Each structure stands twice: as C-alpha cells, then as structure tokens.
Structure 1
Amino acid sequence: MRHCSVQVRGLLTRDELDRYNALMDVGHYLESQQRYDLAQTVQKEIDRLVQPAIERLKEKGRERDRQDQEFLRQIERLRAGEDEDDE
C-alpha cells in the first residue's frame, strides 16, 4: 500500500483520516494474505479519498504564490517611491 504524503494527510478531515487509516489497515491485511488484486482496488479507493486534500494543498500553494507576488509588488512600489525621493 502506498501512503499519501504527510502534508496531504495533514489536510484530511477527521472523517477522511479515519477512513484513510481503515482502508490502509484493510489493504495491509490483503497484502499480507497475498491478495494483491483486492489490495489494488483498496489502493484506488485511497487515491480517490485523498484527492480533495491534494486539491486543498494545491490551493494553499496557489494562495502562498499570490501572497508572494503581492509582497514583491509592494517592495517594488516602495523602491520606486524611494527612487523618486532621491531625485
């Protein structure tokens, strides 16, 4: 079974995390029984389960990028204002 990243797990809701942990337990059991065909089905369900958290992580990254861009624009405006004062 493939775990999702710690970052993604941190963005799962409590219900999603409980379901994720239960599915991982089932998947590990199936692998221990060498039922890889069924474990693959469980893995696909886990992959679907974590998609909303992956989207939340992407949105956090986009928001951070927007904040960085705004910060850089503010710095540029301050520098432009200082240049005008120097003249």
Structure 2
Amino acid sequence: MRHCSVQVRGLLTREELDRYNALIEVGTYLEDQSRYDLAYPVQKEIDLLIQPAIERLKDKGRARDRATAEYLESLRDREDGDNSEEMEEEQK
C-alpha cells in the first residue's frame, strides 16, 4: 500500500484518519496474502479519501504564498517610502 505524506495525514480529520488507518491495515493484509487484485480497489479508496486533505494542504500553501507576497510588497513600499524621503532631503 502507498502511504500519503505526513503533511497530508496531519490534515485529515479524526474520522478520515481512522478510516485511512483501517484501509491501510486491510490493504496491507491483502498484499501479504498476495491478493493484489483486491488490494487495488482498497488503494483507490485511500486515494479518494485523502483528496480533501490534499486540497487543504494546497490551500495552506496558497495562503502562505499570499502572505509572503504581501510581506514582500510591504517591504518594497517601505523601501520606496524611504527612498522618496531621501530624495526630498537632498532637494533641500
């Protein structure tokens, strides 16, 4: 069975995590019994189960990117403000 990343697992709800762990256990048992034909649909179910957590992770990344862009913009604005003050002082 393919596990999802720790980041994705961390964003699963308690109910999703319990279901994920149960499906992994079943899938691992099926693979141990060489029942790959039955393990495949279990893996597909896991893939569907983790999709909402993947979207939550993407949203967190987008929010972090927006915050970074806003911070960099504020630094640029502050730097532009400092430069305009220096130019005003030089003109005096």
Q: Shorter-chain-normalised TM-score: which range? A: over 0.9
- Counterpart residue number, 1:63: 63
The amino acid of 1:21's aligned partner reads: N
1:52 aligns with 2:84: no
Tell me how far apart the structure 2 counterparts of residues 12 and 39 of structure 1 sit (CA, whole Å).
22
- Kindly, what percent of the aligned residue pairs are identical? 66
The whole-number CA distance in structure 2 between the counterparts of 1:37 and 1:75 is 57
Which residue of the partner structure matches residue 11 of structure 1? 11
One-letter amino acid of the structure 2 residue matched with residue 52 of structure 1: P
Give the secondary-structure state (helix, strand or coil) at the position aligned to 1:4: coil
CA RMSD, aligned part only? 0.4
Mapped to 1, the partners of 2:65 and 2:12 lie a distance apart of: 22
Q: Which structure 1 residue ranges, 4+ long, deviate > 3 Å from structure 2?
A: none
- Measure, in 2, the Cα distance between the counterparts of 1:82 and 1:43: 57
What are the ranges of 5 or more consecutive residues in structure 2 without an aligned counterpart? 88-92
* Equivalent residues in 2 for 1:20-31, closer than 5 Å: 20-31=20-31
Deviation at 1:4, TM superposition (A): 0.2
Q: Point out where structure 1 has 5 or more consecutive residues left out of the alignment.
A: none
What do the CA deviations read for 1:36-58 (whole angstroms, capped 9, x no partner)? Answer: 01100000000000000000000
- May I ask how many residue pairs the two structures share in their alignment? 87
Instruction: Tell me what 2:76 maps to.
Output: 76
Deviation at 1:80, TM superposition (A): 0.4
